[in-house]
Structure 1
Amino acid sequence: MSQNPENLVEQVKKTTKNLSRPPLEKWHPELSGDMDLRISRDGQWIHKGEALGREAIVKLFSTILRREEDGQYYLLTPVEKWRIQVEDTPLLAHSLKVEGTGEQQIIKLTTNVGETLEVCNEHPLEVGSYEDSGQPRPIIRVRHGVDARLTTAAYYDLAEHVVEQTIDGNTVLGVFSHGNFYKIGQGG
């Protein structure tokens, strides 16, 4: 077993040949250790101080990444589990597109690894805030506890679709997607 990204890639390819996405929910290996891999706030995947040069490796690693109940992030294969460091969210979401209008509109975002997600029950949108600055922290759930943070441009694009709703007697701001209302903030 190795912390080498190329070795992990080969393991995953062997076990997921005919699958569109690795079955992480079925993989529960013991912790192999800590890998010297860090995902920076700006979405860079850095292994041993160097950016991972192959985009294909980053895309594959994004499919074997899981955030567990302890709040830590792990790269998984059927036989290995490596803890990695993530500064904010492991993925970024950009290129917001909206299809339709009103309550039935569909909001789509593309991640920095090329996956398009629709804001829905499976990929909910949530806007929290950073504790240190109070700045908004808009995220969309990808899968397995992994989130993608909306880039500033995507967040501004999202703001163009905000509407007011009254919920429990309070005015709130948010957006609709797939018939669901996703709260962005308090109304005025």
Structure 2
Amino acid sequence: MPFRIQRDGTWLYRGTPIRRKPMVCLFASVLTRDAEGAYWLRTPAECGTIEVEDAPFVAMELHWSGCGREQVLSFRTNVDLVVCAGPDHAILAEWDVPCEECGTGPVPYLHVRDGAGAYPIQARIARSVYYELAALAVPGTCRGTPCLGVWSQNVFFPLSCLPAGDGN
């Protein structure tokens, strides 16, 4: 299929951006992922693979309520999906890369829905939203390693390694 999703969440058809948001939302609703990690658009009329540069969605907004372990983090994506981080919707970041090797830092993703096999459909968390998460971060540990992370629905999600000198 002549579709492509750019890293910034822009959907292209034959190289031209799709400007009608309802159309993008419609295509997003029929997006699937197979057991090999390929993305597919499956409509009643057609079925075909599409190219995705990074993740098909971008988490553009963050809303939170509560505090501590009971805090709930809700994200709105560029296709108006609302996803609450928790046991079924993990926040994933390459947080345990040594800080001096992070370069621009970890790129966090949000599990939007399951795909086939081990490949979920994710939203890349926009940098501005990541900064909001960083403001909510608290010290913790994951797999015995000190880190900074956030709580949502009683699940701790590590975001980055703990800066040197900031003991737990």
Instruction: Normalising by structure 1, report the TM-score.
Output: 0.75
Alignment partner for residue 107 of structure 2, among 112, 133, 137?
Answer: 137
C-alpha RMSD over aligned residues: 2.2
Q: Residue type of the partner of 1:179?
A: N
Alignment partner for residue 77 of structure 1, among 22, 43, 59?
Answer: 43
Percent identity at matched positions?
35
Aligned twin of 1:180: 155
Alignment partner for residue 68 of structure 1, among 5, 24, 34?
Answer: 34
For 1:134 and 1:75, locate their aligned partners in 2 and report how far apart those are by CA, in whole Å: 32
Aligned twin of 2:9: 43
For residues 58-97 of structure 1, what are the alpha-carbon distances to aligned partners after superposition, in whole Å with 9 as ceiling and x for unaligned?
1011111112121110001356421000001111002111
For residues 107-145 of structure 1, what are the alpha-carbon distances to aligned partners after superposition, in whole Å with 9 as ceiling and x for unaligned?
11100011111001221110127x995642111011132
Instruction: Normalising by structure 2, report the TM-score.
Output: 0.83
For 1:110 and 1:126, locate their aligned partners in 2 and report how far apart those are by CA, in whole Å: 16
Alignment partner for residue 159 of structure 1, among 119, 122, 134?
Answer: 134
For residues 27-63 of structure 1, what are the alpha-carbon distances to aligned partners after superposition, in whole Å with 9 as ceiling and x for unaligned?
xxxxxxxx11110111110001111132111101111
Aligned twin of 2:64: 98
Q: 1:166 to 1:55 in 2, by over 3 A?
A: closer
Aligned residue pair count: 154
Aligned twin of 1:125: 91
| Structure 2 unmatched ranges of 5 or more | 96-100, 164-168
Q: Residue type of the partner of 1:95?
A: E
| Residues 106, 160 of structure 2: 8 Å contact kept | no
| Structure index of larger Rg | 1
For 1:147 and 1:185, locate their aligned partners in 2 and report how far apart those are by CA, in whole Å: 19
Aligned twin of 2:98: none
| Residues 57, 77 of structure 2: 8 Å contact kept | yes
Runs of 4+ residues deviating >3 angstroms = 131-135, 166-169
| Structure 1 unmatched ranges of 5 or more | 1-34
For 2:17 and 2:60, locate their aligned partners in 1 and report how far apart those are by CA, in whole Å: 21
Shift of 1:162: 0.7
Q: 1:176 to 1:51 in 2, by over 3 A?
A: same
Q: Does 1:148 align with 2:123?
A: yes
